[in-house]
Structure 1
Amino acid sequence: MKAFLTFTIILCCAIITPAQDLKMTNEIAFSLKDNVTLSKLHYPKSVIQFYTQNDSEYAWIDIMQKPDQPEIAMLLLEYSYRFGLPLSDYHWEAISLQKLRKLRNSPVEINQKEKAVFDILMTDALITFINNLHFGKYNPSYSSAYIDTNDINGFRSEDALLYAKMQTDFLKAILEVQPKIKAYTDLQNYLNGLYEENDCSAPQTEIERIVINMERLRWINTRDEAYILVNISSYTLEFHQKDSVFDFKVIIGKPTTKTPVLESSITYFTTAPDWKVPQSIFIKEMLPKILKNSRYLEDHHYSVYDKQGNKVEITWSKLKEIRQNPNRYSVRQSSGCDNALGAVVFRFENSYGVYLHDTSQKQLFNKDDRALSHGCIRVENAKELASLLLKYDHSEHKIPILENAMADYQRKDFVLKEPVPIIITYLTCLIKDGKPVLYKDIYHFDDSLENKFNQNK
């Protein structure tokens, strides 16, 4: 909050309000039909829609409409580095605060074309800035062309800009488009604090890590107060509930079987689950052990099923057939103390077939490097997490039932009345106790994103 207030003061103190009127012309409408002008825009459709809703009037050159806003807007673009965003994205070769003041102070009848193009480029710069703040600059799900054309989760940048223009606090309204997630707010406040204090001692590597991880957090859609955040790089799970955060250790996928980055919602969890072994694990890892040791299946409580779901009796001839045609068979592990999923599994819809679950190998949580799974996420103290979900769902009375079912390995489904968002992300830098903490780049994802930012620095 302190960083935000200081930033607001810096912008507002730099403003000199002109006092000259400017008559409206049709030059905006003409310029928006000019292909040369349109070709310069990052978000041409959004810009056209903005001016359509603004009656093709000047948005920034007209001093009669809240004259302080254009200068706040221009200074905000100039301070884009405080958000880890490059000034070169915002037409800075064609617009500037000095040029804005010059055009606004010039007589009405002079430089109409130049004023219109300037106004349009400034609008496009602000729309680009808003989209970069909200969606990120290198969002893997949405290209700039897609964002320009579509309403994504109820958000459109031109609407956000028009809304901001109607507010008393224009700056605050613009900055509201940023992610609300705590990890993002912490990084943004820390980065802004560095520039306010003119702290040149921060290593460049640290600043670059902050910038690329702010970018990743902009790719997250949720604005819920309660959510579960799994961070692959730190091997942690956080259950956020308003001002409370509950921490858990997790085990995530090996570099060869990466845990995917995704967003979903936990809708239910199940005690004493059986485990349907993925075919890749069955064929590559399990089948050689079964062929080598005939008791392997029985010792680990596995059963083999055919395509029709019928349990298969294992004989030497059947093993030979399974070896020759493994895709005709599947394997399941019954519930129990040595089940790979442990005593509870948390389900959320996703296209990767991954889930969050307990484990029978609890000693692995003592390791520092916990990239050990085939992609699913194992969570320490799974019973505590399940209890917290029931409390959040106003179902505390079900906690004794949960504890008994887990202790006795009884299968029960606990359906949440209010699904809880789950975010699986990849953050190699977080702010802890006011200081940045860097995590190992387990999957080597940082380099490509750093290169993109450095090319546009």
Structure 2
Amino acid sequence: AFHRAQPSSPLYRKMQEELVRVNAWGKTDTTDYYRNRLLVNMERARWQYALDKGQKYVIANVAAFMLQAVNEETDSILEMRICVGSVKNKTPLLSSRIYYMELNPYWNVPQSIIRKEIIPTYRRDTTYFTRNRMKVYDKNGLQVNPHQVNWAKYAGKGVPYTVKQDNKTGNSLGRIIFRFPNPHSVYLHDTPSRWAFTLKKRAVSHGCVRLQKALDFAFFLLKEPDELLEDRIRIAMDIKPVSEEGKKLSNSATYSELKHYSLEKYTPLFIDYQTVYLSADNNLRYCEDIYKYDSSLLEAMNDLNLKP
């Protein structure tokens, strides 16, 4: 039964071939390292994916800080760097469906961030709210002056205020966000913090996934290429339109800027964790086990005596 459960995916087959090669090295610590990494990821491959992928899908590999948007119909892969949750604020692993995108979102700051980060920072720097274009509202939705709030009272408990960051330039969510049903309040989004994509270890967020190529990702999600719609997305993101029709729109005084767009067909999304994966150029890559998930899985496999 165990052997019948072996998948036939290109990744699994490549890992099988690699395992044969690694086993031929003889018994060393290096052999053990690569062998264990392969065994763990071959096991993961056996229980993916419950949701049908279809011909067009997205895999965000948290361990590799990489995302692949795959279109099997056109035999193409859009690959990009991503930033994921820190070790303290891990990005949840899940399967879902991307239904819509929102342009120039406002950021409703989570209570935990207000309590743990904004209050201590504001107490050191009272220009914080102004600099970050953030507004404070009471429980009735009325705007209040942050300088008139005794923030010290709320450092360790519930804050009876909400904080909202203005949209557009400098917003933490960038210029576009992609939402999908999930119980963790996470999403994929653009970011103004481009520097983070130059880091080797990109586990820097509070759990959401930041995209290196948000505009390209938006175009990938469209059912088919649509010049005018693509230009409407560009215009909303302050990027110059390229089509003649798009240029006319951007010069029109009556043009209503695109705020959100529901996809004609949802796109399956898998936020996954693979410390061995196939890159877009079809090569096997290894990456670090940032969340330390491999060791517990390897231990469980050894306890059950699971061998390839």
Instruction: Check whether TM > 0.5.
Output: yes
- Listed one character per residue, the Cα deviations across residues 382-406 of structure 1 (whole Å, up to 9, x for unaligned) are 111112222x355443001000011
CA RMSD in angstroms comes to 2.6
Contact 1:393 1:416 in 2 (8 A): no
The aligned residue for residue 397 of structure 1 is: 228
Give the deviation of 1:233 after TM superposition. Answer: 1.1
Give the deviation of 1:129 after TM superposition. Answer: 5.5
Tell me the number of residue pairs that the alignment of Structure 1 and Structure 2 aligns. 279
**What secondary structure is seen at the aligned counterpart in 1 of 2:171?**
coil
Contact 1:276 1:331 in 2 (8 A): yes
The higher-RCO structure (CA 8 Å, 6+ apart) is 2
Contact 1:273 1:345 in 2 (8 A): yes
Matches within 5 A, 1:31-110: none
Contact 1:272 1:344 in 2 (8 A): yes
Rounded Cα–Cα distance in structure 1 between residues aligned with 2:118 and 2:18 = 53
The aligned residue for residue 172 of structure 1 is: none
Rounded Cα–Cα distance in structure 2 between residues aligned with 1:317 and 1:451 = 51
- Whether 1:220 and 2:42 are equivalent positions in the alignment is no
Matched-pair identity in %: 29
The change in CA–CA distance for 1:415 and 1:435 in structure 2 (over 3 A counts) is closer
Matches within 5 A, 1:401-416: 401-407=232-238, 412-416=259-263
The aligned residue for residue 13 of structure 2 is: 188
Rounded Cα–Cα distance in structure 1 between residues aligned with 2:149 and 2:196 = 38
Give the deviation of 1:312 after TM superposition. Answer: 1.9
Give the deviation of 1:322 after TM superposition. Answer: 5.9
- Whether 1:371 and 2:199 are equivalent positions in the alignment is no
TM-score when normalising by structure 2:
0.82
Give the deviation of 1:324 after TM superposition. Answer: 8.8
Q: Which residue identity does 2:261 align to in structure 1?
A: F
Give the deviation of 1:320 after TM superposition. Answer: 6.3
Q: Which residue identity does 2:138 align to in structure 1?
A: D
The change in CA–CA distance for 1:308 and 1:198 in structure 2 (over 3 A counts) is closer
Rounded Cα–Cα distance in structure 2 between residues aligned with 1:206 and 1:394 = 42
The aligned residue for residue 206 of structure 1 is: 34
- Listed one character per residue, the Cα deviations across residues 98-137 of structure 1 (whole Å, up to 9, x for unaligned) are xxxxxxxxxxxxxxxxxxxxxxxxxxxx4x665xx2xxxx
Contact 1:348 1:355 in 2 (8 A): yes
Q: Which has the larger strand fraction?
A: 2
Contact 2:116 2:155 in 1 (8 A): no
Rounded Cα–Cα distance in structure 2 between residues aligned with 1:255 and 1:193 = 29
Rounded Cα–Cα distance in structure 2 between residues aligned with 1:198 and 1:450 = 17
Choose 1 or 2 for highest CA Rg: 1
Q: Which residue identity does 2:287 align to in structure 1?
A: Y
**What secondary structure is seen at the aligned counterpart in 1 of 2:113?**
helix
Matches within 5 A, 1:31-430: 126=1, 130=4, 133=5, 178=7, 184-192=9-17, 195=20, 200-201=24-25, 203-217=31-45, 218-221=47-50, 222-242=52-72, 243-316=75-148, 319=151, 326-390=158-222, 392-393=223-224, 395-407=226-238, 412-430=259-277
Give the deviation of 1:185 after TM superposition. Answer: 2.6
**What secondary structure is seen at the aligned counterpart in 2 of 1:266?**
strand
The aligned residue for residue 301 of structure 2 is: 453
Contact 1:322 1:329 in 2 (8 A): no
Contact 1:393 1:418 in 2 (8 A): no
**What secondary structure is seen at the aligned counterpart in 2 of 1:327?**
coil
**What secondary structure is seen at the aligned counterpart in 1 of 2:144?**
coil
Rounded Cα–Cα distance in structure 1 between residues aligned with 2:177 and 2:134 = 18
**What secondary structure is seen at the aligned counterpart in 2 of 1:328?**
coil
TM-score when normalising by structure 1:
0.56
Rounded Cα–Cα distance in structure 2 between residues aligned with 1:311 and 1:372 = 31
Structure 1 stretches of 5 or more lacking a match? 1-125, 134-174
Give the deviation of 1:206 after TM superposition. Answer: 2.3
Rounded Cα–Cα distance in structure 2 between residues aligned with 1:289 and 1:326 = 17
Q: Which residue identity does 2:56 align to in structure 1?
A: A
